[in-house]
Amino acid sequence: MRILVTGGTGYVGSHTAVQLIAAGHEVEIVDSLANSKASVSDRIGSISGMAPPLHVFDLRDEGRVDALIAHGRFDAVMHFAGLKAVGESVAKPLEYWDANVGGSTSLLGALQRHGVRSFVFSSSCTVYGDPETVPVTEATPLQPATNPYGATKATIERILTDVHRSDPTWSIGLLRYFNPVGAHESGTIGEDPNDIPNNLMPYICQVAAEREPELRVFGNDYPTRDGTGIRDYIHVEDLAAGHLAALDFLDRSGGIHVWNLGSGSGATVLEMVSAFERATGVRVPYRVTGRRAGDIAATWADPSKANNELGWATSRSIEDMCADAWRWQTTGAANPH
């Protein structure tokens, strides 16, 4: 298939692009480079033997989006593009609503006009809000999102549901994934935020590499094992494989489907710090600060629907995630881009 990957130089998008190419698909990338670098396309090429064409513009530029879709002959779209930091979304809600929802509606409008009807959406477990029970299943009621980032994901899911209801020829996968960590085992691509990390693993790595003085742990008074927040961490390579499984399912079956992509178990922040220290032998100094706006105490997935319908499951441990993230930090991320 010929696949357009939006946000394809970003963290999850780049790993998925590598796996798409390895599976024999033809890939093109569109990315604004708001939180990534153009050289990632070349790094994808160094792994896969084929650097995908990169179109650099924002999806809110409707004219350029329309021209790309009109001439691209795409069979499907994987939509990763968007702003993604929970804390930042609380501080900058207008930016998040405009970029995430505006970019998505611009893209969907072009796809509607030009007959591209297969769509895999990078959604998030944040659509469950602060769930009353864990683990969460796809049938867990969606609570009001605790932050604007999660609210944009829930809104885009609603838009996609309405699009499918209006035109059932669409094939849509809504992938609600939990907390991706790790990096490609080669150390060539990984999570590389342009400024201070908002996600735990790159923050741990930067502290371990002495690029940041200490890890700030946002709250140790949650009702959890050690008082720090519990999340379901999933290796980015396992997550990317879930996207390919969803694409194959949609190609066979059509329809609109929701799948949780997670490991099915949770780890606290301090457990992740300990796992990193075990996996790498590097100490991570930390300091507990107040809770961060928009955070919740605990969430993890029940991934059985994806296990059963997609034939997909995670295969890598937390220690694998830490070791691969550290390899990326000490090789790929440390190199000039």
Q: Mind giving me the DSSP string for 137-184?
A: -TTSPPPPPSSHHHHHHHHHHHHHHHHHHH-TT-EEEEEEE-EEE---
Closest by Cα among 65, 82, 60 to 28: 65
Region 195-204 average pLDDT? 84
- pLDDT score of 231 more than 90: yes
**Nearest-10 crossing angle of helices 148-166, 103-114:** 20
- Out of 5-14, 57-66, 326-335, which region has the weakest mean confidence (pLDDT)? 326-335
- Out of 160-174, 201-215, 223-237, 321-335, which region has the weakest mean confidence (pLDDT)? 321-335
Region 105-114 average pLDDT? 98
Region 208-216 average pLDDT? 95
- pLDDT score of 7 more than 50: yes
Contact 168, 141 (CB under 8 A): no
Catalytic member of 11, 149, 177, 203: 149
Report pLDDT for 337: 41
DSSP codes, 258-275: EEEES-S--EEHHHHHHH
Residue 138 and residue 222: Cα distance in Å, rounded? 25
Reply yes or no on whether 128 is catalytic: no
Contact 178, 261 (CB under 8 A): yes
- pLDDT score of 336 more than 70: no
Q: Give pLDDT tens digits for 146-173.
A: 899 999 999 999 999 999 999 999 999 9
Q: What proportion of the chain, given as a percentage, has pLDDT over 70?
A: 98
- pLDDT score of 333 more than 70: no
Region 26-48 average pLDDT? 96
pLDDT interval class at 335 (50, 70, 90): low
Region 250-256 average pLDDT? 97
- pLDDT score of 80 more than 60: yes
- On the 0-12 / 13-18 / 19+ scale of CB atoms within 10 A, 33 is middle
pLDDT interval class at 119 (50, 70, 90): very high
**Taking all residues of the chain, what is their mean pLDDT, rounded to a whole number?**
95
- Tokens 């990763």, residue located: 80
How much is the pTM? 0.95
- For the chain, which domains are there? 2-181+234-262 (3.40.50.720)
- Out of 99-103, 132-136, 248-252, 272-276, which region has the weakest mean confidence (pLDDT)? 132-136
